[in-house]
Amino acid sequence: MLRLIGLVSIATACGAPTHVPPTSPKPPTTPAGPAGSAEAVDVHVRTCSEAAVGLDRATQTLREPDSEVLVSLKDSCATGAWAQPVIDCFATMRADDLAKCASMLPDRARDAMFAVLADREPTRSALAIARARLATMKVGVDECDRFIQAVGSVLTCEAMSLDARVQLGNEAADVWSLPTARLSPEAHARMATTCETSRHSLEKRVQEAGCMP
Pair 173, 213 in one domain: yes
In this structure, is residue 175 part of a structural domain? yes
| pLDDT tens per residue, range 153-170 | 999 888 888 898 999 998
Pair 128, 194 in one domain: yes
Pair 194, 179 in one domain: yes
Of 84, 117, 150, which one is at a domain's C-terminal end? 117
Pair 92, 177 in one domain: no
Q: How far apart are CA 157 and CA 130, in angstroms?
A: 14
Pair 128, 211 in one domain: yes
User: Over 50: is that where the pLDDT of 5 sits?
Assistant: no
Rounded to a whole number, what is the largest CA-CA distance in the chain?
Answer: 118
Instruction: Count Cβ atoms below 10 Å from residue 161 Cβ, excluding itself.
Output: 11
CB 180 within 8 A of CB 212: no
Q: What mean pLDDT is reported for the chain?
A: 78
Structural domain boundaries, residue 197: 121-213
User: Over 80: is that where the pLDDT of 112 sits?
Assistant: yes
pLDDT at 188: 87
**pTM of the entire predicted model:** 0.64
Ranking 4-13, 17-26, 40-49, 187-196 by mean pLDDT, the lowest is 4-13
pLDDT confidence tier of residue 119, bands split at 50, 70 and 90 = low
pLDDT at 148: 92
Domain count, the chain: 2
Pair 82, 126 in one domain: no
